Structure 1
Amino acid sequence: MGQCFSADGGGGGSAPASGKGKAGAGDMFGYPTNFDALYNTGKELGRGTFGTTYLCTKKNPAPGSSAKDHTYAVKVILKSSLQGEGDIEDVKREVKIMEVLKGKSHVVGLEGAFEDKKSVSLVLELCAGGELFERIISKKHYSEKDASSLVRQMLEVVGACHVNGIIHRDLKPENFLFASEDEASELKVTDFGLSTFYRHGQRFTEVVGSAYYIAPEVLQRGYGPPCDIWSIGVIMYITLCGRPPFFGRTESAVFNNIMKAKARLEENFKRDPWPKITDEAKDLIKKMLHMDPQARITAAQALAHDWIRKDGVAPDVPLDVNVVQSLKDFSGYSKLKQVALRHVAMTYSDEEIR
């Protein structure tokens, strides 16, 4: 879709309803109500379970500013789609997290949050460079060095989240977008709808995320920040071979393979294209996909790894052409089959995911 917003976001198909002035006593969130006084709403950009996103532009941009400087995406969440205080708190938390991370590298920027009687509108930075896999597929030259640069940016943003007491909990390729179409464009993470604040030592039990990228300790209902590292490890694996490490035709099959991760990796690394991939890349993947979250490599440690460092060992030699074709096939399949597990995952029993 090529924009910094969550299209996995809340149900409605209408543009933001009219609102004026400051927040009033009857407002659900206490956000300003003057969105329509400040912005024009344009075409629909994306739609998902938790929101519909539109192009929007400032009505009175600063003199001399370019169109890029006053063009945004606005994620609209209908209040009628919010089921009780839990959903309301989720939206408030998403906004707070984006405010904490505002200005951090590789994070979509939040311009402002607004509301009216019908909806909440989050005005977000617009990214025109496309999704992660789309960019890789379009490249004429794609190497381990290119993959290393992408994974480095992902690890930098995960590190920033964890330092600020935030777990993303839904890191997947669709949530990494490029700021522009420039070859050297910055990679940015979006969609903090499942993210949460955490305290040192705190463990979470709610099973959330997206099937291929979910960590084993999440399935076992006792997890913390290392679950994000696991997700990046899965993405790194896919960027180097074009296929997920733990595949399955159903979510329960994927989960079963995740719980057998060590054996699956050992088998996979014997198959093409892995014998042609550097040992350093495979070493980092093993450390990021360690079954024990306490023994799993941290973002800071991964950023110091020989394969990740800018002056590291990742070679600038084109990967096998079959890697990009496999990635293209998987990307098309995953768009059709992947389902975010916000509510569904709790239907699986402990026995099914052991």
Structure 2
Amino acid sequence: MQDNGHQISADFRYTLFTRKFNMGLGLSKKGNKSLNDPKRFVVNGHTYKIINIVGQGGEATVYQCEDENGYRHAAKVFYFSRFPPQQLRQRVDGFLKEARILRYLSGRSPHFVTLVDYEYKPSENVGYMVMELGTGCLRQHMQGLPLNDQARNMFWRQIVGILKALEDAQIVHADIKPDNIIIVDGILKITDLGLAFGLPWTRQSTRRPIVRGTIDYMAPEVFSHQTGFKSDVWSAGVILYEMTYGRPPYFSIFDRNQKVAAISAMAPIMFPPMFDPVLMDCIRQCLRFNSFLRPNAFLLQAHPYSRML
């Protein structure tokens, strides 16, 4: 009896898991009558097979998937049922905004991830965004350690290329960090445009009602509700600092509130000695507290370190 009880319990747990997995992917019988495999989903009539999970966040899960022709893609799936009903409209609008910005950027630069397709399905309460698949992100290459001179400079020149491409497209990313830079055939590409917004060249920044981002990579002015192209330059400067020293400037401050206070108050940044004055100058230029004194992407591209081969 005990063995039978365990078997029934296991079967019951499996049934619950399968139902939850189907519901999470929007693959209920009602939503996708033609599909019985919970590891498949449909976007605008095209079927994709899930291979594995690439990453998970608060708003979405990223899968590696395969299309009907055997090509591999990344699928960012937004599960809106995770949020209270009163937030649904805001979350869906955010999904659609990100997809439209990504569609606008696709093909404008080799440093932008290509959007393959996207669709919001109200009946399933799920949003699907299918895009180019990378072989990993910059964070995986850094691994909390300083990079050698060749790797650091190679990555940096491409990061500056990302900044220039964003500014040319009049888009502020607002969340540049190693986790949001993927590698496709040796090329760095910016992804995760959930906080991105358009900004005309005539304005260097704009007031944002809500302070959002990743604290270690946020510029001081962002905490005063001002975000712009040079806020992205600061974030890139933090990455260069991290590729040089193995950690971001304020890494040693563990308390979240204290870290926010330190960055917003422009607490001095420690620069351990190094033997490359050109690299040091580039880092310092990017991490100028006054955003008006920070170089834009065009000037940063002309910096000797950005041109070093």
> TM-score band, normalised by the shorter chain?
0.7 to 0.9
Q: Deviations over 1:122-173 (max 9, x none)?
A: 0011112x2213224499x943232122111111112111221211011111
Mapping 1:1-354, distance limit 5 Å: 14-17=24-27, 18-19=31-32, 34-35=43-44, 37-59=46-68, 61=69, 67=70, 70-81=71-82, 83-103=87-107, 104-116=109-121, 117-118=123-124, 119-128=126-135, 130-137=136-143, 142-180=147-185, 185-199=186-200, 200-201=202-203, 203-205=206-208, 206-247=210-251, 248-261=253-266, 264-265=268-269, 268-269=270-271, 271=272, 275-311=273-309
SS in 2 for 1:223: strand
Q: Is the 8 A contact 1:15 1:41 kept in 2?
A: no
User: How far is 1:243 from its partner?
Assistant: 1.8
Once superposed, what is the RMSD of the aligned Cα atoms? 2.6
Which structure: larger Rg?
2
User: How far is 1:177 from its partner?
Assistant: 1.8
TM-score (norm 2): 0.79
Aligned to 1:321: none
Instruction: Give the length in aligned residue pairs.
Output: 268
2:67 maps to a residue whose letter is: K
Q: Is the 8 A contact 2:43 2:117 kept in 1?
A: no
Aligned pair in 2 of structure 1 residues 79, 168: CA closer, same or farther (>3 Å)? same
1:169 maps to a residue whose letter is: A
Give the Cα–Cα distance (whole angstroms) in 2 for the partners of residues 292 and 97 of structure 1.
29
Give the Cα–Cα distance (whole angstroms) in 2 for the partners of residues 42 and 231 of structure 1.
33
Q: Is the 8 A contact 2:74 2:131 kept in 1?
A: yes
User: How far is 1:94 from its partner?
Assistant: 0.3
TM-score (norm 1): 0.69
Q: Is the 8 A contact 1:13 1:52 kept in 2?
A: no
User: What percent identity do the matched residue pairs reach?
Assistant: 27
SS in 1 for 2:249: coil
Give 1 or 2: higher strand fraction: 2
User: How far is 1:245 from its partner?
Assistant: 1.0
Give the Cα–Cα distance (whole angstroms) in 2 for the partners of residues 191 and 125 of structure 1.
12
Q: Is the 8 A contact 2:50 2:63 kept in 1?
A: yes
Q: Is the 8 A contact 2:174 2:227 kept in 1?
A: no
SS in 1 for 2:211: coil
Give the Cα–Cα distance (whole angstroms) in 1 for the partners of residues 141 and 236 of structure 2.
17
Structure with the greater relative contact order (CA < 8 A, sep ≥ 6): 1 or 2?
1
Q: Is the 8 A contact 2:153 2:306 kept in 1?
A: yes
Structure 2 residues not aligned, in runs of 5+: 1-21, 34-41
Structure 1 residues not aligned, in runs of 5+: 1-11, 21-32, 62-66, 312-354
User: How far is 1:81 from its partner?
Assistant: 4.0
